[in-house]
Amino acid sequence: MGFAAETVEGQDFATEPAVRDADAAPDTYLEEQTGPAGISQLAPFLEEFDRVEAPEPPWPDFGRFDVPISYNDRVKGAIHVLRNDASGIFAGWLGRTNRYRAMILSILSRSGLPGDLVYVAMVESGFDPRARSREGGAGLWQLTPADAERYGLTLNDDVDERYDPEKSTRAAASRFKDLYLELGSWDLVLAAHHAGPEPVRHAGDLSLWRMRLPGRSIPFVAFVMASAIISKSPEVYGFEPLGGLPVIHESVPVQRAMLLEEVAEGMKIQVEKLRELNPELRRWRAVPGFDLNVPLGTKRNYAAWAGIEPPGPDPSAMTFYRVRRGDTLGRISRRFGVRTGDIISENNIRRPNRLRIGQVLAIPLYGSSIRSSNQSIANRRPRDVPPPDPATHQAISYRIRRGDTLARISRRYGVSMANLQDWNKLNNPGDIIAGRSLTIYVPRPSGAAGGASASGAIIYTVKPGDTLWEIARTHNVTVSSLRRMNGLDRRTAIHPGDRLRIDPSDS
């Protein structure tokens, strides 16, 4: 296990400085100059450990992983570091895991990616969304400025969306898909995420552990695998269970430039909370046009302070909640002001009386009393609204699947929940039953994304996180039909903004 002093092209893994304020990159602001995060925090422990023979750690349950895990000397050595000299650091990572875990797993799942890629973020940043590296990486996934440009993240004087946990995770998911399509192996994807694809590509057909890659890349993969092994059973390795509650919020519009200190004082909340919810603000200053995240339940408080029109409900909003001891669905529904049935439907709960402590629930806020007025969408009666003009829209029939919600269907087709209710005479969003059909009016190709042709084919615009399998399942066609109709082979990737032609009659 000689990876502590491994060097390539003059790089030494064990010489990462403890602080970096003095030599921070010139394009960073004072607010962005932080200490080391993620794997950089482990550098001081590695050189000494390189001289010590690590004892055999507990044997992991390999059936619990969806990324292939190596269990060689380097991974065992990484486990030893995390359990001993770096145990305090790793305990901090574990304690922050649940803040973003549910969100990350949701995006990875919708992208058709393994959930265990969440441990890449753990080792890259320790789940610190403001983490920066000397090499220019930033955010949970340590994406570079080139990654930001390639995957559509905004990076300017005011905002760096690499710091935004959700947006950066969507970008990272797209990058993982691109790397896997090129390399075809998840261990090589992990190495390429850290080193870049060029060194891995030029290493030839060697196994990962025999490659000569930039100094920290092989140890990085070892620590991702070690972190996954320990996180699956933290108590077995001497750690507390995964900690922290999901970060939840709601958004408000910004109409003039404001420092977060000013907003916090006006809303009578702690500025640290606003910074936690808006890590993408480089100088803790919001500019006009920015959607500011505020604590759940304070949206109207902000509107009153800022002197703007009180906001209406967001029909597709979701948040997450980690079940605590003593919780019941009734208590959780009352806490968020939503119906118990909506929580059951959104999470496909089969035994409502048997919640698990630590279980993370998706909470649909479209009918929440916290988010909505008394005339919320959840309580509105369907209006007698005529269908759209047949010259511009075409009706399609969607068969409701188990686990569907009206919010999900509205996001999928780019229509409002209000229109779905009106078109289908639904009293509230919960009035949908698996197996029945909904009528949805979509624009024709001359209109917005998601149109339909006169022949019945639909023009669909790919959204972030989409996969061919998910698009095919949603529109009741086969993946092979999608590929054939759009000239795609098995290695062709799809990207947000791509337009796909979907013809149900061709399946």
Of 493, 506, 466, nearest to 112 by C-alpha is 466
Where would I find the H helices in 18-141?
Answer: 43-49, 73-83, 87-110, 118-125
CATH 3.10.350.10 residue ranges of the chain are: 250-378, 380-506
Return the residue matching tokens 């809303």. 267
Give residue 231's identity as a one-letter amino acid code. S
CATH 1.10.530.10 residue ranges of the chain are: 7-237
* pLDDT value at residue 386: 72
For β-strands 499-502 and 458-461, DSSP reports them as: antiparallel
What is the DSSP code (8-state) at residue 215? Answer: T
Stretch (H or E) spanning 322: strand 318-322
What does the block give as tokens for 278?
């808006």
* pLDDT value at residue 456: 58
Residue 464, number of CB atoms within 10 A of its CB: 19
Q: Are 364 and 410 in contact (CB under 8 A)?
A: no
Instruction: Report the Cα–Cα distance between both ends of the chain, in Å, rounded.
Output: 54
Residue 484 Rama label (left phi>0; alpha psi -120 to 50; beta): alpha
Between CA 271 and CA 286 the distance in angstroms is 13
Q: Mention the CATH class of domain 380-506.
A: alpha beta
Q: CA–CA distance from 422 to each of 277, 380, 383, 406 (Å)? A: 35, 10, 6, 12
Between CA 398 and CA 475 the distance in angstroms is 8
Residue 403 Rama label (left phi>0; alpha psi -120 to 50; beta): left
* pLDDT value at residue 378: 37
Q: What is the CATH number of domain 250-378?
A: 3.10.350.10
pTM, entire model: 0.61
* pLDDT value at residue 447: 38
Q: pLDDT tens digits, the chain, 507 residues: what are they? A: 333 333 333 333 333 333 333 333 347 788 887 778 888 898 888 765 556 677 788 888 888 898 999 999 889 999 999 999 899 999 999 999 989 998 898 889 888 899 999 999 999 999 999 999 888 899 999 999 999 999 999 999 999 999 999 999 999 999 999 999 998 899 999 999 998 899 998 887 778 998 888 778 899 999 999 999 999 999 999 998 887 778 888 888 898 999 999 999 999 999 999 999 999 999 999 999 899 999 988 888 898 888 876 555 554 466 777 788 888 888 888 777 777 877 876 776 877 788 888 787 878 765 444 443 333 333 444 555 677 777 777 788 887 876 677 777 776 777 777 778 778 887 666 667 777 788 888 776 543 334 444 445 677 777 766 777 778 777 777 777 787 777 776 667 777 667 787 876 655
What does the block give as tokens for 267?
């809303």
* pLDDT value at residue 372: 39
Q: What is the CATH number of domain 7-237?
A: 1.10.530.10
What does the block give as tokens for 290?
């920015």
Of 467, 422, 461, nearest to 441 by C-alpha is 422
* pLDDT value at residue 78: 92
